Amino acid sequence: MAKKEVRTDLWVASQLQEAGIDFDAQGSNVKEINDALKTASKRGTGQAGYPEYVAVIKDYVLVVEDKAALDKQKQLNENGILAVDVKAVTDYAVNGAYFYAKHIAQNSTFKKVFAVGVSGSEKHHKITPLYVDDREGYKELPDLESFVSFSPANIREYYTRYVLEEQTDVEKTTAQILKDAAELHEYLRTYGTLKDQDKPLVVAGILLALDEIEYGGFNIGSLTGDQIPGMYDGDKLMNAIKGRLTRSNVGPDAKKDKLLAEFSILQTSFRLNEVNETLGKTPLRYYTEFLYDRVFKSIKYQKTSEDFIGRFYGEFMSYSGGDGQTLGIILTPHHITDLMCELTNVQADDVVLDPTCGTGGFLISAMHRMLALAESDQQRKNIKKKQLHGFELQSNMFAVACTNMILRRDGNSNLECCDFLAKNPAQVQLKGATVGLMNPPYSQGTKADPSQYELSFIEHLLDSLTIGARAAVIVPQSSMTGKSKAEKDFKDSIME
């Protein structure tokens, strides 16, 4: 049994390390916690008692006890609540973790304490967390598969969602984004007189500039409405965007220049850079403050597959009296992109191609899933740098897609602004794509130009994937039957 206990100890330690949690074994380097444990004997003797592991993560404490046998996970008393007698806290993982966590909460200034009981081994295990405060109760939380919820990046959101039972920032922003988009669209129209295709570019460009704040490359307060050439608010935003693109190693230069050309509306629009009498500031300053307060500070790009900027794009199109279909534009909601990734069983070692990527929804969902399945930092780097490929013909949507990926710390994604149908499939196949995901533009094909039928995109995609690859494509049922005689004849010709 002793060897099994040691193996369990080592496995739990490896799981904590993998989650990026700094921990101490048999005590704590935090003096206040260690002093509390000096009187934490499970047998109530007033002597020292130490759990397997203790970690301080932000303002939370994590206490972990483990047992090798699965049947030593937890013991309840006759009333169905956690037993706190000496034998229970000595022999059972959850009971022991609760005992130590409660002692720390009652004998230190640390009041937000998670007790986690672990039993079993790598192959078969249980991880049961409790939330403990300095009073008598506890809150049992759903069992976990790993410790990633307690990582420094996730623990506050986990506490909000499962302890406070409030919506997390991601859930709030997903619900709020449409309302924000409607309000911002009105401001863009009223104060900026922007064309439909320019509105999402202004949003994307400002978000890139805001992402430079943490590096000292941008300050909202610098947008003072100066009317000196080179010192307009748009110039300052563009300088921040250039810095962000450089920091993300966006390349080659042609790609970087393409993006800067799309965002140039920030500099070239006199209306955006002139102080508005109603606002008392430039529209650019007003939009930047709006996006910072309502979007940038609350959206956790890394923790969700939601394409937030794509949502803005879609909403702007709808408020402008169109849904983009006249341009062949289709924006896929994230619950569909997530489903398609599940249907194709996207794995961490796959190479994903979306040849009509739009604002990047499929690639975002694929990356989100692949990173969750990745087992090492190097694998995560490879996913971002080498395993995501996309083509987009519309230059403004290409800029939005690139912004999406950069904000998710993926400036090196292999996105190209080009016509996929004009690409040689043999050349595209060199990318080694093992999964194809696509929602092709609504059919613009005619008898004279059958290349624009949805089926043309499907045929070209299949020819561009590696042998044995999987693909999932969204097409209207009419494409498979043929909406016209010309399209039906085309379908029959490629199905032969």
DSSP letter string, 330-396: ----HHHHHHHHHHTT--TT--EEETT-TTTHHHHHHHHHHHHH--SHHHHHHHHHHSEEEEESSHH
322 assigned to some structural domain:
no
pLDDT of 328: 40
Same domain, 369 and 461: yes
Residues 49 and 108 in one domain: yes
Q: In what side-by-side order are the strands of the sheet with 470-473?
A: 414-417, 388-392, 352-354, 435-438, 470-473
Is residue 314 situated within a structural domain?
no
Q: Give the domain-ending residue among 163, 183, 201.
A: 163
For residues 343 and 455, membership in a common domain is answered with yes
Please check whether residues 404 and 448 belong to one and the same domain: yes
Confirm whether 24 is domain-assigned: yes
From 163, 179, 208, give the residue that closes a domain.
163
Same domain? For 294 and 389 the reply is no
The pLDDT of residue 494 is 47
User: Residue 249's pLDDT is what?
Assistant: 80
Same domain? For 337 and 289 the reply is no
For the chain, list residues with pLDDT below 50.
1, 321-329, 445-446, 490, 494-495
Q: Write out the residue range of the structural domain in which residue 295 sits.
A: 168-299
pLDDT at 51: 95
pLDDT, tens digit, 9 for 90 and up, residues 16-46: 998 889 999 999 999 999 999 999 999 888 8
- Considering the domain architecture, whether residues 469 and 393 belong to the same structural domain is answered as yes
Task: Give me the pLDDT at residue 485, please.
Answer: 56
- 359 and 283 in one domain? no
| Domain final position from 145, 163, 181 | 163
In the chain, how many domains are there?
3
Same-domain status, 98 and 235: no
Residue 323 lies in a domain: no
C-alpha 156/C-alpha 153 separation (Å) is 8
Percent of the chain, pLDDT > 70? 84
Residue 387 lies in a domain: yes
Answer yes or no: is 315 within a domain.
no
pLDDT at 160: 83
Does residue 312 lie within any of the structural domains? no
Are 159 and 181 within one domain? no
